[in-house]
Amino acid sequence: EGPALDHPFYLPYTTSGTLAVVTEYALPLALQAEVHAPADVAAALSRIRGNGFARAAVEAAYWCLASLTLGRSLAELFGGTRSRIEVGESIGIAPSLKETIEEVGRRLAEGFRRIKLKIAPGWDVEPTAAVRDAFGDIVLQVDANAAYTRADADVLARLDDFGLRCIEQPLEYDDLIGHARLQQRLRTPVCLDETLWSVDQVRYALELGACRNVNLKPARVAGISASLQVHDLCRDAGVPLWCGGMLESGIGRASNIALCSLPGFSDPADMSPAAFFYDWDLIDPTYTVGPDGCIEVPTAPGLGYEVDEERVRGAARRTVEIAA
């Protein structure tokens, strides 16, 4: 699954553009390459600049094939050690503080291990203070979705009072230097998301001190091989790491869940059940979050879940076949 959004407002990629790159470049390059392991596919696709979602989709298919051929689960192939992973939940900007508190209460009652509040200018210090006052010493972080500028450092510094796990992506997606300067100002760790679109970007951010917490979205960094490198970078640097997600179906979430079984993922993942977004999933049965806020890591080879091919065909809007 190449889970680009249907608009270029997160990163400069879209669903239609991702399909074009997959069919015109990524898949043909993979089919022409001499492939002994999935990492060979990642190497073949490295000629493509950017377009991580397209590269991730093709590489993931080869990881699935390798898993089936070897009879080993994806988690085992990745080097995972956990049988269950902790997950958190993200809370959007509600019309009122009361509704925010109620939503947080519901998610905590459902067992989620971490709460992430969306913030924006004018909706930041007050809701954060309200949630901290209402629920005490829960694992709490905020996500700005690049809504602030360097001029907002004073406001963001006020969030230091609330013992947050991190402030996620406060500034623009390409402002690495601005984040480094902001991190010098804040006690709270800055976490980067959109800014980290490749392994090298993660390396630069850590070297510059632009963040002290990393959100890894595997498709954003061009796939599983790149994600394994990011995992090792953060582990070696002692930087907290957690797995975020796009709006994947269970097909895309399968490898995300398997990745989270690696020991370097120290913080709860963003892994909302498909039912939060969709009437039905493309895998059946879909994954679930237990009452303790954990997801079981699949042990079966391949995706670890059964794909409902009829649902895939019914949901398809465009289909392209590529000759080997």
The residues that are catalytic are 118, 217
Beta strands (DSSP E) in the chain are 84-91, 115-118, 140-143, 167-168, 190-192, 213-216, 241-243, 269-270, 294-296
Structure tokens at 83: 């049988």
CA distance 63 to 65: 5
Q: Let me know: does 257 contact 287? Beta carbons within 8 Å.
A: yes
Give the CA angle between residues 9, 2, 247 to the nearest 5°.
Answer: 60
Which residue type sits at 304? G
- Direct distance between the N- and C-terminal alpha carbons of the chain, in angstroms, rounded to an integer: 20
**Which ranges constitute the DSSP H helices of 167-249?**
176-185, 199-208, 224-237
